[in-house]
Amino acid sequence: MKRLSIVASLILVYLAAASCPLPAQVTAERSEGGVVVKIDGELFTEYVTESGGKPILWPIIGPTGKPMTRAFPMAKGVASERSDHPHHRSFWFAHGDVNKLSFWHRETAKHREFTRIESGDTATIVAVTDWLDRDGKKLLEDERTLVFGTRGEDRFIDFTITLKATDAPVTFGDTKEGTFAVRVAGTMKVDAKQGGRIVNSEGQTNGAAWGQPAAWVDYHGPVDGETVGIAIMNHPSSFRFPTHWHVRTYGLFAANPFGLSDFPSPARNGEHTLEAGGELMLRYRVLFHRGDDKAADVAGAFSEYAK
């Protein structure tokens, strides 16, 4: 009887272990263009060190196995995509007025080096980027930390960036053109009229969410017949939380803490100056999920992230 009891106990332990799936393995490995990130051996995204004068993430594969950001201009000919705004490149960070120069449109943010690349239950990339004027002089630098992981079937990217004025004051001007941004897949955008929808933490939707402050915004719609969404969450420790959102029905989706006078908010100047040696930090989580904001419990996911 004692031996049978031991055997039964071992069987129960085995069954319990079998019912608990192992955590996904997330790997980050150097590639010719930057760093490739995979989940259990399948492509999630690639950190591309140079695309249109800045580092970007592209492609980004969501939980259904399909790309969730626009391919243009890195790839052309996708039927659902407009060939507009070639500076809108999948997933990027830039601003339209830095000491009166537009890194959103023209100027160069040049990748300098990776200081950390790690794999495990999550993957981490730490990169240093130099922001250069037209003569190649550095205006500022940033250190960006990206953590890639899973939340059940869904996937996330935590993006923390510290902007540093190295040698002289740097002013981030008040413009709607910025700053932490994603361009959603063509079929997801509201203007495609296929069910795309924008909703924020305050309950504002579609065009009414533009320029408003919110803790998070979700942009969901169909990709290959399945509803998926991208939620961007602003961490409470981030500069000027809750941020304002330059989120458009044609597919641009950006958090912008500087463009206050352009947005429908009380008139004030949103510019911010870093003195030489000064820093500011911005923090976001991007959740790539199945279903709409309710099905994915974006509000609950934000609460987890905020803690």
Q: Which pLDDT does position 23 carry in this prediction? A: 82
11 in any annotated domain: no
14 in any annotated domain: no
Q: Which pLDDT does position 20 carry in this prediction? A: 54
Low-confidence ranges of the chain (pLDDT < 50): 4, 7, 10, 12-14, 16-18
Q: Which pLDDT does position 264 carry in this prediction? A: 87
Asked if residues 159 and 138 have their Cβ atoms less than 8 Å apart, the reply is no
Among all chains, which residue has been given the structure tokens 């760093």?
A: 35
Asked if residues 135 and 58 have their Cβ atoms less than 8 Å apart, the reply is no
Segment 164-167 long-range contacts (CB within 8 Å, at least 24 positions apart):
164/140, 164/274, 164/277, 164/278, 164/279, 165/139, 165/140, 165/274, 165/275, 165/276, 165/277, 165/278, 165/279, 166/138, 166/140, 166/141, 166/276, 166/277, 167/138, 167/276
12 in any annotated domain: no
Rounded CA-CA distance 176/246 in Å is 7
Q: Which pLDDT does position 208 carry in this prediction? A: 98
Q: Which pLDDT does position 281 carry in this prediction? A: 98
21 in any annotated domain: no
Q: Which pLDDT does position 19 carry in this prediction? A: 53
Burial of 162 (0-12, 13-18, 19+ CB in 10 A): middle
17 in any annotated domain: no
Nearest to 184 by CA among 64, 293, 298, 82: 82
18 in any annotated domain: no
Rounded CA-CA distance 86/212 in Å is 25
25 in any annotated domain: no
Domain residues for the domain of 233 are 32-76+84-306
**CATH number for 114:** 2.70.98
Q: Which pLDDT does position 17 carry in this prediction? A: 44
Per the structure, the count of domains in the chain is 1
20 in any annotated domain: no
Kindly report the pTM of this predicted structure.
0.93
Asked if residues 75 and 89 have their Cβ atoms less than 8 Å apart, the reply is no
Q: Which pLDDT does position 11 carry in this prediction? A: 53
Among all chains, which residue has been given the structure tokens 């408003």?
A: 212
Residues 6 or more apart whose Cβ sits within 8 Å of residue 268: 260, 261
